[in-house]
Amino acid sequence: MCMTVRQEKFAALLKSAVVIPVLTIERIEDAVPLAKALVAGGVRVLEVTLRTPVAIEAAKAIMANVPEAVVGIGTILNGDDLARAEDIGARFGISPGATPELLKAAAASALPFAPGIATASELMQALAHGFNLTKFFPAEQSGGIKALRALAGPFPDARFCPTGGIGEANAAAWLAEPNVVAVGGSWLCPAADVRSGNWAGITAMCNRAMKSLKPA
């Protein structure tokens, strides 16, 4: 599949998801019940970040036990991380930023991928490697919606999944921007709820978010 088609399909997947929960899973035993709670609340596209030692095993457990979930790998920092995501059958990859080496590896990979960008120069590098869908990160700290609108002028074909500082209070404002396909965030799965096993609370939060944010 050519890069353009792959990017289009990835953008369509994120657009249908609306919100991508950013999951930092500390305990392997939390992985499956957390994913089930999210899916029960209408949130199916999940980003499991490589921020903990159990991340890869957690992603594999979700894929094996929660077939309704569409599992991607986040916090991809290099080619080795990208290869690990591919090896376990992840559906997509996301990075917080991008080195030339990572962009080159991702462009050569079959894995749908969204590199992280925060500036015009970083976006230009991503576009030069064929990535017109990127993660705007950290979104609020990098200038917020005003910064995103400024990028829309010189880069009208670029699309974004903003992440960082986005929550229930401002997600709708970000999603209203024409160059935003989805938003990412961890507010749907608060660490305290995960630690305490408050799966019903997570499902209720997801249901509320989907009802308020998903287009009619």
State the catalytic residues.
Answer: 47, 135
Which alpha helices (H) appear in the chain, and where do they start and end?
A: 3-17, 28-40, 55-65, 79-87, 100-108, 120-128, 144-152, 171-175, 191-196, 199-213
Distance separating alpha carbons of residues 8 and 29, to the nearest angstrom: 35
Cβ-contact 24, 51 below 8 angstroms: yes
The tokens describing 30, both together, are: 């939390």
C-alpha 164/C-alpha 176 separation (Å) is 17
Place of tokens 């609340």: 41
Q: How far is CA 111 from CA 18, 123, 183, 209, in A?
A: 20, 19, 20, 28
Beta-bridge mates of residue 183: 19
Q: Among residues 70, 17, 62, which one has the least CA distance to residue 206?
A: 17
- Asked if 124 and 101 touch (Cβ cutoff 8 Å), the reply is no
